[in-house]
Structure 1
Amino acid sequence: MSRFLQLHLLTEYPISNPNRDDLGRPKTARIGGELRQRISSQALKRAIRTHDAFATALEGHTGQRTQRMGEQIIEHLMKKAVDEAKAIEAAKAIVPVFGKLEANRKPEAARTAQLAFVSPDERAAAFDLAERFVAGEELPKDKDLARLVLRPADGAVDIAMFGRMLADNADLNRDAAVQVAHAFTVNRVVIEDDFYTAVDDLKQKAEDAGAGFVGEAGFGAGLYYLYVCVNRPLLVENLDGDRALAARGIEAFVRAAAMAVPGGKINSFANHARAKFILAERGDAQPVNLAGAFTVPVRGPDLLAEAVAKLEGEREGFARSYGLRADGEMRLHVGDAEAATIDQLAGFAAEGL
């Protein structure tokens, strides 16, 4: 089995603000002294795991990141005619395995202070323990209780891919099998401002002619480079040895990575984008992020063609100097009739598992 799958994606976003900073401005980075628009790894991973191409293909095999396991336990028990007070008591006894209870807001909901990434198997185990608790069974404490609920490996593909950290139960952590870089524009950008107004439809002509609301929204546009590295054996390990599920997961991930975009300001800019170029590589050699191809920004006028040429040149340079040749490779290139389709690329990515 080839150990690593590497994906290099080039996706052209129109005028948009898909990922905002704390001031509502597009996220940026300076690369080679030039300003680029940026999309964070976290935003990309959430867009991928919630995209239909991922969620539908892996229905029943994805986790939930939530603070509300207590509310789920309470609701589950009350559907079984358990008294609400007893259901709350059960939730407070079991939820600490997912994280420290939040004390300040709605303590009766037994929410955790942090988000917990919970698999379907773990949710079912928590429900089962809650039922045993209300039936009068004495449950173990602390880490012994956690081991009855939490799994070091199971069928949750997104947890297997993106990992999970449990501060109080490090032996039940899951190392991420998929590394997702921050995406950035290969071209220099200038973040501009859209000054917009909203008009009150019921305002009479005799009143002032001003708008009912005015505001500003930042935007930019460009061709983004995204790098992804998948440790395929680790993915199988995180899925408790289920190679068929790992293959399904990789295929779904490739499709979603090609099509998913963060939802920031998408109603204002309709930035529904898909990758125009994807280079997929399988092999055992040390992975290489090819972001250095774009330290000097692509100037255009044909951003895609120039970016592809720089990407291929960077890759060939590393291969020649270090002998980093892939065991197999495949390309999707919109407009090239000889290039692979997304279905072929997804199949290639999972092949050999």
Structure 2
Amino acid sequence: MYLQLHLLTSYPPSNLNRDDMGRPKAATMGGAPRLRVSSQSLKRAWRTSAIFQEHLDGALSTRTRRMAGEVLTRLTAQGVEEKVATASAEAIGKALYGKVDPKEKFQAGQLAFIGPAERAAVDALVAEVVKTGKAVDEKTALGVVKEAHQGADIALFGRMLAARPHFNVEAAVDVAHAITVHKAVIEDDFFTAVDDLQTRAEEDDAGSGAGFMGETGFGAGLYYLYLCINRRLLVENLGGDEALADTAVRALAEAAAKVGPGGKRTSFGSHAYALVVLAERGPMLPRSLSTAFLKPVGGTDMLPTATAALLTTAESMDRAYGATAEDRYLLDVAGGGGSLAGLIGFLGGEAGNRTPAPAAA
């Protein structure tokens, strides 16, 4: 069973996701420049959101390369002999990452998701070392690497441990880069900051009242976002825990509709909810509906035009390939149809509110 979500979300002037120059990320599609938000940025925003914390508390992992360093700090703070603490931290670090650098506070060369079961195992080893005063041996340290069944975010977004491939997890969710449905350009905001202690005489001498001047890039747009959940793989990743899988799907759907990246949020106030969410379910092979926007949407009333293009493309796919979904649900804020509660109920198995177009004969 595939669960697919297609979202349209409008952001005012903002810089949600920056490139290496600090400017909004961009792409060219259909021969037109677009603003873009990377899937990595979106997934981190969702995973660290209050929504995930509320629904999946106790089932979330920690993404870090500093676990061994944390172990060393905890052991030394509790009076463990330096040699024992160092040996234990290195053993645990090697078990989790394959390799850590003692010269860099035992940091690993890669970030990795450490699941709740693994953190609990590390905590237990730390307590044992504090109690016995003996360093962790290699065989015992390897026991901290666990199957990721308790890590809901690992089950959703996957994990790669280069030194422990047996514990890799294939992501159950595919997330596309969000892209504006229309032509969009990056603009520049010139700004100044005033030094409160600067005197009027100093202002006159300098010829300006600004204590600092700078500029930052920004852009505004209506974004299309697509994500696909392989529910069977999600349940498998969670060791068969259907209830946790359903909770993870609900959390992901709500976060995708309500949460965006926080880049320069305090400067732009870029909080936004999705205005349209089209949800689909069925065993058919998934497909994005980004082709609805190969031709940039134009005009001054883009939302209804983009919504119509999205739904028309879904129906056209049905006519060409046969039904591409068994059922659909539409949340349309401007059109007054659907609700978040209805959307989440649909993803959990309730009936949709939009029938797929008839398949071609």
TM-score calculated relative to the size of structure 1 = 0.92
Map of 1:14 onto structure 2: 12
Q: Which range is displaced more, 59-68 or 123-132? A: 123-132
What's the CA shift for 1:82?
3.0
Q: Is the 8 A contact 1:286 1:324 kept in 2?
A: no
**Structure 1 counterpart of 2:184, which letter?**
V
CA contact (8 A) 1:10 1:276 kept: yes
Structure 1 stretch displaced more, 298-307 or 72-81: 72-81
Identify the residue that residue 159 of structure 1 maps to in structure 2: 154
Say if 1:94 and 1:130, in contact at 8 Å, map to a contact too.
no
Deviation per residue, 1:23-82 (Å, 9 max, x gap)? 011100000110000000000000111111112211111001011111332344456553
Q: Give the SS at the match of 2:100.
A: coil
Establish whether residue 168 from structure 1 lines up as the match of residue 177 from structure 2: no
In structure 2, C-alpha distance between the alignment counterparts of 1:60 and 1:24, rounded to whole Å: 35
Give the letter aligned to residue 180 of structure 1. V
* Mapped pair 1:61 → 2:73: no
Alignment partner of 1:120 out of 116, 120, 125: 116
Q: Which consecutive segments of 4 or more residues in structure 1 shift more than 6 A?
A: none
Aligned residue number for residue 177 of structure 1: 172
Question: Could you tell me which amino acid in structure 2 is paired with residue 218 of structure 1?
Answer: G
SS at match of 1:206: helix
> Take 2:312 and 2:136, find their aligned partners in 1: how far apart are those partners?
64
- Work out whether residues 252 and 346 of structure 1, in 8 Å CA contact, stay in contact via their aligned partners in 2: no
Partners of 1:35 and 1:308 in 2: how far apart?
20
CA distance in 2, matches of 1:34, 1:335: 27
Query: In the alignment, residue 224 of structure 1 is paired with which amino acid?
Result: Y
2:91, 2:138 within 8 Å by CA — same for their partners in 1? no
1:278 positional shift: 0.2
> Which stretch has the larger CA shift, 307-316 or 67-76?
67-76
Query: Secondary structure of 2:124's match?
Result: helix
- Note the 1:184-333 alignment, pairs <5 A: 184-207=179-202, 208-210=206-208, 211-333=210-332
Could you say which residue in structure 1 is the equivalent of 2:44?
46
Alignment size in residue pairs: 343
CA shift digits 1:109-146 (9 cap, x unpaired): 322121111011011112323445663476345xx853
1:103-114 equivalences under 5 Å are 103-105=102-104, 109-114=105-110
Is the Cα contact below 8 Å between 1:6 and 1:281 reproduced in 2?
yes
SS, match of residue 147 in structure 2? coil
Aligned to 2:69: 71
**One-letter amino acid of the counterpart of residue 206, structure 1:** A
Query: 1:162, CA displacement in angstroms?
Result: 0.4
Q: Secondary structure at the match of 1:155?
A: coil
CA apart distance, 1:327: 1.9
What secondary structure is seen at the aligned counterpart in 1 of 2:329? Answer: strand
Instruction: Provide closer, same or farther for how the CA distance between residues 271 and 217 of structure 1 changes in structure 2, counting only shifts above 3 A.
Output: same
1:247-279 Cα distance to aligned partner (Å, 9 max, x none): 111101100010111111111110101100000
Q: Distance in 2 between matches of 1:160 and 1:62?
A: 10
How far, CA to CA, are the matches of 1:201 and 1:213 in structure 2?
12
Distance 2:303 2:171 in 1: 31
Distance 2:62 2:338 in 1: 33
Distance 1:301 1:165, change over 3 A: same
Letter in 1 for 2:106: A
Q: Specify every segment of 5 or more residues in structure 2 that has no aligned partner in the other structure, as ranges.
A: 351-361
Deviation at 1:190, TM superposition (A): 1.6
CA–CA separation in structure 1 for the residues paired with 2:341 and 2:75: 43
CA contact (8 A) 1:26 1:218 kept: yes
Deviations 1:182-211, CA, capped at 9 Å, x for gaps: 000001012110111111111111112421
Deviation larger for 12-21 or 343-352: 343-352
Q: Which amino acid aligns with 1:256?
A: A
CA distance in 1, matches of 2:74, 2:110: 22
Q: Which 10-residue stretch deviates more, 75-84 or 47-56?
A: 75-84
Change in Cα spacing, 1:229 to 1:60, as seen in structure 2 (3 Å) is same
AA partner of residue 323 (structure 2): L
Name the structure 2 match of 1:348. 346
Contact 1:20–1:26 (8 Å) recurs in 2: yes
One-letter identity of the residue aligned with 2:171: A
Question: Which residue in the other structure is 2:353 paired with?
Answer: none
- For residues 273 and 136 of structure 2, the distance between their equivalents in structure 1, rounded to whole angstroms, comes to 53
Runs (5+) with no aligned partner, structure 1: none
